[in-house]
Structure 1
Amino acid sequence: MKVDWITPVVVLAIAVSMVAYAWSTGSIYTSSVTIHALAVSGNQGAVINITITAVKGLPSYLGGNVYVSAMPLPIGEGGTFISSSQIAAFVATTLAGQSLTNYNFLVNVNSSTIEVGGPSASGYMTVGMYALITNSSLNPHVVMTGMIMPDGTIGPVGGIPDKIRAAAQLGYSTILIPYGQQNYVTSSGQVINLVNLGKQLGVDVVPVATVYQAIQYFTGRSFNLSLQLPPQVISNISAISEYLYKILYVNYGNESALGNQADYEAALSSANNGDYYTAASLLYNALMDYYTNLFKNVTLGYAKALVANMSAELGLMTGEVNETQPTTANLDIMIGIYDRIYSAETLLNETINDINSGNMANLPSDLAQLYTRVITLKYWFNVLNAINGGNPIPRSYLAKLSGLYVSYAYTTVTYLYSLASAEGLTTSIGFISTINQLINQTNVAQEFYQNGLYLKALAVSLDTIASASAIMHAMFLVGGTNASLYLLNVIRNVATYNEALVSQCNGLPVLSSAYIQFGNYWFRQYNNSLAGNPSSASSQSYMIEALSLYEESIAYSLFLRQLYYELGSCPIAQYTINFTALQYTPMGATQQVPLGQSTSAAFSAPQLTEVNMMYLAIGVSLMALGLLVLVFRVIGVNRSRQLSA
């Protein structure tokens, strides 16, 4: 019985605190809206009233919270009502061009159902929160069901036919449902055309793919999702990507030509088409394949020496980026560098584990990935040093946003786990391993944050959010090939829209744009594969590659937008690029020990157990075994989309 009154009491205590603060400052503003969420109670549809209150004016360190009060408690379906309401707040504030820390939201659920739970009202809650922030009115004749995804798309829900009948009975004229569910399959296998069902009941049933579309139906506000980067920004980003490709080709083109031929030829073709980031990534893959073959007969002595060398170089590069001043112009590249450093540290741990355990089967591949990652990472520093200007970012802001994103990553993974639990997927060993890996990543991000490594924590958090988002889409994708094509087009449009908004603030979304370009490459591969066997593993992997890269782009762009809103600087200060610093001249390659030769004095091979302990505090070993191939492909794509010079 105690549990029943805990949540209302907590919310009351928060409200009292807010009133006290308002009394002392006179600057608290509140507004409320009640939405009429569609639900299912037993075998019948129902409408529950959810009152959302936005509170603005508290200090930012007290902001960014969502408090839920519900009777009964919102614990159904794994508590996804709570986690989805937090996702809704993040999406709504970003869409409205506001920092999340400017607001707190109180969500009060008045339900006649036996149990409150599930994410099906979260799309509607996002619309309600957006309306409060922008002072917009909601069309009282429209209702909605659909779960909010972290990228702003609307995910599938259950019980839609009963929800439509309940809404029609209560006099609503327009009912928004998730796109892809207009031909609804019941638990008994019956297929119901929901648009036709609506016509029979005298209501319009409208499928929507994004919250942008939903907001337009509710408020009349529209978003130009066809927004594109301006030509000058495209030119700047293309010049940076061209450098990354050409410097890699100049220094390692011969080696790459001896690696994976398909990747090598595709790299040259992409470069001829001006898709330089794609070309660099594919060339990188070919180079990594070359070193994998080269290291097939590697000795432990050689591997130890190379690991020592890589460890030392990685430490020097980490020190260099730690000393760099983050600005609104270079932050995108700095986070990308930290992302690649974290990837290298993880690979270092795996390689050390291979050596310690004598795992000669995995050692060539892990050592090749580590070596390729480290020797090409220096080129990103040249890009970083070529970007000047922008606003210096105070460390206090980095701490605030890093903490916010570490929490957001945890919420997103919790959301994924809750949804998977509701679908019965958590009984799979493969899925449990994937979830554990994502949870480990959130723990690593938390550790980085606690140690003051805010940008590194951000890099890991953004990866985690993107991976979890892609898995959610893969998990709930319905409708076969057509649904996959539509989904990829929608998410690509969301990605290009968000990178364009970054550029409107005078930002330089290098990685956001690069990931879209590489995603487009895999999208084309997926399209081409449909002429053969669209259900083949390779075809599905192309789709997942594209989806994951688009999600990574969105994660980066949304972060940059939140940063600008938090700083209150959109547009940000002008930046310049020193293109003369981006030359394609050959550079000295990292020193190697000839294969089969004993360790020489040029290399200081440390005690591997000591190195292992040092890096285990930083990295997380990746799981190799899994049953859910698509889900693991989402995790694996984090490496492939990092694989650029």
Structure 2
Amino acid sequence: MYEYRRYRRERKKLRFAAYVIAFMLLFSLGYYMGGMNKTTVIYHNETKISNLVTYVPYMINGSFENASYASIIIPAVDEEGKGVTTLLTVQAVRGKGRILVNIDKLLFWTDTQNSIRTASKVASNITGVNLSDYDIIYTITTNATAVEGPSAGAALTIATIAALEKKKLDPDVLVTGAINHDGTIGPVGEILPKARIAREVGAKLFLVPLLHSQEITYETRRYCEQIGPAQICTTERIPKKVDISKEAGIDVREVGSIKEALEYFLRD
């Protein structure tokens, strides 16, 4: 009988430990999924330099042959959830098929690097330009020391296409969204602060992924109830559906692909 009781106690301990581990795994997964679809600029007192490249464009007969540029403002958020902007410039110049990033003391996280690679491939597919004959140089101008997240993917792709085709981008239009290998625009987070900063910098139209023109926000309220001599208080999160366009004061439109977004961006 004693052995049986000890066996049951051990089983309870193991079961409790399994519950704790499962909870921690689910919490960690939720935290990761909540932050993986936004682009964040990070500010530090110390600047880390990663893979710094000093690049001299490929020249023919002392001049840049068929060099072209395109610039676009990318809305993002900082670590506190406040909207900020970075300036992206893409240069397409005759070269050796290299994809280069002029980081200048800026740390790019892996997801942003993947977005750059995908953006160049999608731009090549849409334009029909063979990138093996070009060097594509991406330059990010920002006060931050790090850029992370995939939500700049759509802007990276659109600017690359404009550079390859030597076309101007409409400065009144901004976009947020991840880039998929087939040219579709993937979901991202933090739409409202990005829309607000887009309006603040003068944009008139903000393009977002499908089903992203509305957002669910949560208002925190404290609710107290008198139960006998004691007062019991709890914190409640009240959901609120927000129309991004009305809340941010800017025209917001949904786009499902890069080709659809280009209809708003490209000017002859």
The answer to whether the superposition gives a TM-score over 0.5 is: yes
Residue matched to 1:296? none
Q: Following TM superposition, by how much is the alpha carbon of 1:43 offset from its aligned partner in structure 2, in angstroms?
A: 2.1
Q: Does 1:32 align with 2:69?
A: yes
User: Which one of the candidate residues 126, 130, 138 is aligned to 2:161?
Assistant: 130
Q: Following TM superposition, by how much is the alpha carbon of 1:5 offset from its aligned partner in structure 2, in angstroms?
A: 6.6
User: Which one of the candidate residues 138, 141, 149 is aligned to 2:180?
Assistant: 149
Q: Following TM superposition, by how much is the alpha carbon of 1:4 offset from its aligned partner in structure 2, in angstroms?
A: 1.4
User: Which one of the candidate residues 133, 141, 149 is aligned to 1:110?
Assistant: 141
Q: Following TM superposition, by how much is the alpha carbon of 1:211 offset from its aligned partner in structure 2, in angstroms?
A: 0.4
Q: Is there any run of 5+ residues in structure 1 with no aligned partner, and where?
A: 222-645
**For 1:150, what is the secondary structure of its paired residue?**
coil
Paired amino acid for 1:126: T
Paired amino acid for 2:107: L
**Within 1, Cα distance between the matches of 2:76 and 2:212?**
16
Q: 1:94 to 1:189 in 2, by over 3 A?
A: farther
Q: Does 1:183 align with 2:214?
A: yes
Q: 1:189 to 1:108 in 2, by over 3 A?
A: farther
User: Which one of the candidate residues 183, 187, 190 is aligned to 1:159?
Assistant: 190
**For 1:120, what is the secondary structure of its paired residue?**
coil
User: Which one of the candidate residues 91, 97, 121 is aligned to 1:53?
Assistant: 91
User: Which one of the candidate residues 161, 186, 203 is aligned to 2:250?
Assistant: 203
Aligned length: 203
Q: Following TM superposition, by how much is the alpha carbon of 1:191 offset from its aligned partner in structure 2, in angstroms?
A: 4.7
Matches within 5 A, 1:588-599: none
Q: 1:200 to 1:161 in 2, by over 3 A?
A: closer
**Within 2, Cα distance between the matches of 1:204 and 1:106?**
31
**For 1:128, what is the secondary structure of its paired residue?**
helix
**Within 1, Cα distance between the matches of 2:177 and 2:117?**
15
**Within 2, Cα distance between the matches of 1:69 and 1:27?**
18
User: Which one of the candidate residues 92, 101, 105 is aligned to 1:68?
Assistant: 101
**Within 2, Cα distance between the matches of 1:2 and 1:197?**
35
Q: Following TM superposition, by how much is the alpha carbon of 1:218 offset from its aligned partner in structure 2, in angstroms?
A: 0.4
Residue matched to 1:520? none
User: TM-score with structure 1 length normalisation?
Assistant: 0.30
Paired amino acid for 2:101: V
**Within 2, Cα distance between the matches of 1:192 and 1:163?**
17
Q: For each residue in 1:324-350, what CA deviation from the matched residue of structure 2 results, as whole angstroms up to 9, or x when unmatched?
A: xxxxxxxxxxxxxxxxxxxxxxxxxxx
Q: C-alpha root-mean-square deviation of aligned residues, in Å?
A: 2.4
Residue matched to 2:5? none
Q: Does 1:15 align with 2:60?
A: no
Q: 1:213 to 1:102 in 2, by over 3 A?
A: same
**Within 2, Cα distance between the matches of 1:2 and 1:148?**
28
Q: Does 1:217 align with 2:264?
A: yes
Contact 1:74–1:116 (Cα < 8 Å) also in 2: yes
Q: 1:104 to 1:186 in 2, by over 3 A?
A: farther
Report which of the two structures shows the higher radius of gyration computed on alpha carbons. Answer: 1
**For 1:81, what is the secondary structure of its paired residue?**
helix
**Within 1, Cα distance between the matches of 2:69 and 2:124?**
15
**Within 1, Cα distance between the matches of 2:112 and 2:143?**
16
Contact 1:33–1:132 (Cα < 8 Å) also in 2: yes
Contact 1:173–1:202 (Cα < 8 Å) also in 2: no
User: Which one of the candidate residues 114, 127, 143 is aligned to 1:96?
Assistant: 127
User: TM-score with structure 2 length normalisation?
Assistant: 0.68
Q: Is there any run of 5+ residues in structure 2 with no aligned partner, and where?
A: 1-45, 219-236
Q: Following TM superposition, by how much is the alpha carbon of 1:182 offset from its aligned partner in structure 2, in angstroms?
A: 2.3
Contact 2:169–2:266 (Cα < 8 Å) also in 1: yes
Q: For each residue in 1:452-487, what CA deviation from the matched residue of structure 2 results, as whole angstroms up to 9, or x when unmatched?
A: xxxxxxxxxxxxxxxxxxxxxxxxxxxxxxxxxxxx
**Within 2, Cα distance between the matches of 1:23 and 1:106?**
21
Q: For each residue in 1:301-338, what CA deviation from the matched residue of structure 2 results, as whole angstroms up to 9, or x when unmatched?
A: xxxxxxxxxxxxxxxxxxxxxxxxxxxxxxxxxxxxxx
Q: 1:85 to 1:197 in 2, by over 3 A?
A: same
Residue matched to 1:4? 49
Paired amino acid for 1:45: G
Q: 1:204 to 1:72 in 2, by over 3 A?
A: same
**Within 2, Cα distance between the matches of 1:135 and 1:87?**
20
**Within 2, Cα distance between the matches of 1:3 and 1:168?**
31
**Within 2, Cα distance between the matches of 1:31 and 1:176?**
25
**Within 1, Cα distance between the matches of 2:238 and 2:116?**
31
Paired amino acid for 1:47: T
**Within 2, Cα distance between the matches of 1:112 and 1:186?**
29
Q: Following TM superposition, by how much is the alpha carbon of 1:69 offset from its aligned partner in structure 2, in angstroms?
A: 2.5
Q: Following TM superposition, by how much is the alpha carbon of 1:117 offset from its aligned partner in structure 2, in angstroms?
A: 1.1
Q: For each residue in 1:420-468, what CA deviation from the matched residue of structure 2 results, as whole angstroms up to 9, or x when unmatched?
A: xxxxxxxxxxxxxxxxxxxxxxxxxxxxxxxxxxxxxxxxxxxxxxxxx
Q: 1:191 to 1:69 in 2, by over 3 A?
A: farther
Q: Which structure shows the bigger proportion of residues in helix conformation? A: 1
**Within 1, Cα distance between the matches of 2:130 and 2:200?**
39
Q: Following TM superposition, by how much is the alpha carbon of 1:197 offset from its aligned partner in structure 2, in angstroms?
A: 2.9
Q: 1:192 to 1:34 in 2, by over 3 A?
A: farther
Q: 1:160 to 1:149 in 2, by over 3 A?
A: same
Contact 2:124–2:130 (Cα < 8 Å) also in 1: yes
**Within 1, Cα distance between the matches of 2:149 and 2:125?**
23
**For 1:116, what is the secondary structure of its paired residue?**
strand
Residue matched to 2:4? none
Contact 2:168–2:267 (Cα < 8 Å) also in 1: no
Matches within 5 A, 1:594-633: none
Contact 1:94–1:100 (Cα < 8 Å) also in 2: no
